Amino acid sequence: MSEIVIEVKEIKKTLGKGAGQVQALRGVDLTLRRGELTLLMGPSGSGKTTLLLILGCMLTPSSGTVTVCGTSTRNADKEALAKIRRDHTGFVFQSYHLFPTLTAAQNVQLALDIRGDHGRAAAKKAREVLGLVGLGQKAKSRPGALSGGEQQRVAIARAFVANPSVILADEPTSALDSDNGRTIMRILAETAHERDRAVLVVTHDPRIIPFGDRIIEIEDGLLVTEKSGEPERLRIPKAAAFRP
C-alpha cells in the first residue's frame, strides 16, 4: 500500500452565518496516497471546492481532522498553514494564475523562491522542469505570449518543481480544448505515477475520467461513490473521453 500523504476524517464545514448558513461538507473521510491520481467529481455546489480548500490547508474545517504528511493542521495559524502548503503541496489553478510580468521560467522558479531556494541552481531546475512539460523552448516567454494549454503546463511545472508530496488541481482542463486537455492530464498522470506524487484533480469534466486511478463523487457535502480501476467500468460515453 502506498504512503498516505493527506488524510481527512469526519470533516464537516459550515459556510456563512445565520439564515444564509450552508453545510458545505457533512462528514467526509478521504485519504490521498503517493502514486495515485484521484479525481474528485460532483455538480456545482456539491462541496468539491470546499474539500479541495481544506485539503490545501486554505480553509479550516468546522470539525474533523486533517493530517498532511503526518502533520495535523489542528490549531495551526495562517502562517503555519502556509508553511504546510509550502512544504508539501503544489497547486494548479483553473485560471492558471501565472505572473504576467515574469517569464515562464521565472513563474516556475517562483515556487522554489518562496521556499528559500534562490540562485542559479533554482533557475536551472526551473528550466529543466519546464522542459519536462514540453516548454523548454518557451522558457523566456511571458504568459501573455503563451496559449491557454501552454500556460496550464507552466502552472503544472510550477506546482511540481519543488517536489511537493501532493498536487491539488482545480478544474485544470475546463478552459482547454481536447488536445490541450489531454496533454495536461497526461502530465498530471505522469506526475502521479512516475514521480510518485499524490495528485487530486477536482473536475466536472467527464472527458478526463480515463486518467483517474480513483474517482470520487461528492454530492451535497458527502462522498457518495468511490471507484477504482479501468475507465471502462466508469459510466462515461467513450466518444467523450480523453484517451490517455
Partner 1 sequence: MSLVMTLASRNLFHDQLRFIATLVGIVFSVVLVLIQMGLFLGFGRMVTTMIDHANADLWVLPKGAKCFEDPSLLDLKLRDKVASVDGVASVVPMVIGFSDWRLDSGEMTPVFIVGADLKAGVLQPWNVVEGDGRALSQSGSVAVDRSYFDRLGIKGLDATAEIRGRRVKVIALTDGIRSFTTTPYIFVDLKNARLYTGTFPSRASDLIIRLKPDADRAKAIEAIRTQVGDAEVLTSDEFRSRSRSFWLFGTGAGAALFAGALLGVIVGTVIVAQTLYSSTKDHLSEFATLRAMGSSNKYIYNVIIYQALLSAVIGFILAAAIGYVVVEMTAKSALPIVITPWLVIALLALTIAMCVSSGIVAIIRVVRIDPVTVFMR
Residues lying near partner 1 in the complex (CB under 8 A) are found at 49, 52-53, 56, 58-59, 79, 82-87, 89, 91, 93-95, 97, 99, 101-102, 106, 109-111, 113-115, 118-119, 158, 170
CB of residue 6 to partner 1, shortest distance in Å: 15
Nearer to partner 1, 170 or 241 (CB): 170
Q: How far is the CB of 241 from partner 1 (least distance, A)?
A: 26
What's the rounded Cα separation, in Å, for the pair 176 and 28? 30
What are the two backbone dihedrals, phi and then psi, of residue 135, each rounded to the nearest 5 degrees?
Answer: -120, 25
* Smallest gap from residue 114 Cβ to partner 1 (A): 4
Cβ closest to partner 1, residue 202 vs residue 241: 202
Q: Of the two residues 32 and 59, which places its CB atom closer to partner 1 in the complex?
A: 59
Pick the closer one to partner 1 by CB: 93 or 204: 93
Q: Quick one: DSSP state of residue 51?
A: H
Beta bridge partner(s), residue 167: 90, 199
Nearer to partner 1 by Cβ, of 109 and 180: the residue is 109
Q: How far is CA 23 from CA 17, 146, 218, in A?
A: 11, 40, 13
Least spacing, CB of residue 229 vs partner 1, in Å: 30
Query: Residue type at 23?
Result: Q
Upper half-sphere CA count for residue 106 (Cβ side, 13 Å): 9
Nearer to partner 1 (CB atom), residue 58 or residue 222:
58
For residue 83, CA distances in Å to 35, 90, 173, 195, 237 come to 23, 12, 28, 22, 42
Q: Least distance to partner 1 from the beta carbon of 175, Å? A: 12
In the structure grid, which three cell numbers stand for residue 229, read together? 480501476
| Shortest spacing between CB 227 and partner 1, in angstroms | 25
* Backbone angle region of 30, left / alpha / beta, with phi > 0 → left and psi within -120 to 50 → alpha: beta
